[in-house]
Structure 1
């Protein structure tokens, strides 16, 4: 008997649904590990495709993303670019080029709140594969990292998909590549003829089509105790970014992994998390990062200007009751 888990808690990595005994056998599920986290799939399988066939399609799609964009893999395309000589030109694989177009678009639109060259600063603050220690960096180390970063240094030919290494640039696409992996996995599943599914990688989700009973896939978004809400993911994706994950503490200071490329410092404001709805998970992931860096006020204004469906949760005086604000586009999103 198939078991449906049609509701997920955004940003919580935990399944929040109750199994439905009446679900048909064709409503199936798969899961695995990737990119240092997990992936999960819930899908309507009316033709009863063999599960190994479905798993193989997902694994191949995720491996392509890792082989191209994982800065944890020295032999990936991004790893080779990061070690390349100054002035060298690289024709990127199609997937890598698509992510760069998105990253540079939002870098320009946000004034650098997201920056694919942020790698040296991320490492300086003790995160990522190049991190040497989890301590407060020296002023000299910060100055050196700032000098190596800056998206304006990149010469990217969007039409050709080529990128020139200006020298010393370390790309880090971790704020967008996971969302792209969700989209790429969905594309692989659609190529198999699967059109009704909910696919998740590390807490970022995208739903297409509907459950066999005609109901939409759903995500449970946490806010205040009385504002928890299930949102339909019929042709939509959801991504969450915030300060509750990956933190370091040293010399009486605590900081998150979200680095503001404009200052070279970790983002420091009252924003706890941002959840974004978008038709593409890559876009939702990138925008969640942008809004987290911008913070509760500048980020909210940016989201309103760009018609972004976003939910902001900020730290209040009572830690158990965050201050929650929704953009007009979020409020207009169809509930279940």
Structure 2
């Protein structure tokens, strides 16, 4: 990276391992500012901590001053909801808790519970105020980590003007020299289905093998739910998206689990790859990812997604 031995800073936050790679070691002041940004974000949006704003609204409803990230994230979640016919819903938190993905990580599932279809009537974020007309659990997991990656990148870029990579458990942003990223096979983390070279952009991924558990009846459950039913998705196993920023990439990676996701990606100018549970790979026209087993490097043109079979 730029003729220097790169410096790597690793730490744990929001339930995952982060790695920040820069040309030179970051000063302590940058470490402190990154920590403050992550803690402030977590104190607002985490449904896993009792002292967060989200937890307070889940208990009592009401109104609070809108946090700095509210408009960007909730507007994007509204677009995801529209694109997926309501499969993505910012009030899906109680549905996740019903399946055992709760603040205690009990992993003890109860009956699936659909998220409220009238969420727009219950949740508001206009005029600098975040409001819930009645108690409900906001969950920004569809794109929240991407937003936080962008926030951390902003902090690092004020200090380091060379090559930067911010990686939060596989959701990452790259500035400067291109980085080749492996696309982890969702059924075997020791393997990759391909590689993607990322330059001055973000790559975010989601997969059903992450945050998964077994129900009392022996069924495999995971964190990617169809909010209309409260049940985990079963058709798509993993998604990857590359966009100008991590919030957008994370949002599209979530949308790709549902019909409407590819259309939204096209409208937002986002390249993508996804893998179905029966081992088919699909990717956007013109996608620059290289999927193993292809004969032309992965680039595609044409009106719709392309597919080929992968070894499951």
Alignment TM class, shorter chain as reference = 0.7 to 0.9
Cα displacement string for residues 183-233 of structure 1 (whole angstroms, at most 9, x for unaligned residues): 0000111222435200011210000122xxxxx123122469999543232
Shift of 1:259: 0.9
Residues 188 and 29 of structure 1, relative CA distance in 2, 3 Å threshold:
same
Cα displacement string for residues 159-183 of structure 1 (whole angstroms, at most 9, x for unaligned residues): x232221212111112211111100
Tell me the secondary structure at the aligned position of residue 179 of structure 1. Answer: helix
Shift of 1:97: 3.2
Cα displacement string for residues 36-90 of structure 1 (whole angstroms, at most 9, x for unaligned residues): 1111011123xx653x2332222122112112211112212222222224xx222
Decide which of 195, 199, 203 is 2:170's aligned counterpart.
203
Aligned twin of 1:128: 102
Aligned twin of 1:235: 200
- Check conservation: 1:258, 1:267, Cα contact below 8 A: yes
Residues 110 and 329 of structure 1, relative CA distance in 2, 3 Å threshold:
farther
**Structure 1: gaps spanning 5 or more residues:** 5-21, 211-215, 317-321
Aligned twin of 2:120: 152
Aligned twin of 2:251: 286
Does 2:39 match 1:63? yes
Count of aligned pairs between the two proteins? 288
Tell me the secondary structure at the aligned position of residue 287 of structure 2. Answer: helix
- Check conservation: 2:225, 2:232, Cα contact below 8 A: yes
Does 2:134 match 1:167? yes
Aligned twin of 1:261: 227
Does 2:15 match 1:39? no
Tell me the secondary structure at the aligned position of residue 146 of structure 1. Answer: coil
Equivalent-residue separation in structure 1 for 2:224 and 2:234 (angstroms): 9
More strand by share: 2
Residues 300 and 199 of structure 1, relative CA distance in 2, 3 Å threshold:
same
How large is the RMSD of aligned CA atoms in angstroms? Answer: 3.0
Aligned twin of 2:308: none
Does 2:184 match 1:218? no
More helix by share: 1
TM-score normalized by the length of structure 2: 0.81
- Check conservation: 2:274, 2:281, Cα contact below 8 A: yes
- Check conservation: 2:73, 2:143, Cα contact below 8 A: yes
- Check conservation: 1:121, 1:149, Cα contact below 8 A: no
- Check conservation: 1:178, 1:285, Cα contact below 8 A: yes
Does 2:289 match 1:323? no
Equivalent-residue separation in structure 1 for 2:185 and 2:218 (angstroms): 29
TM-score normalized by the length of structure 1: 0.76
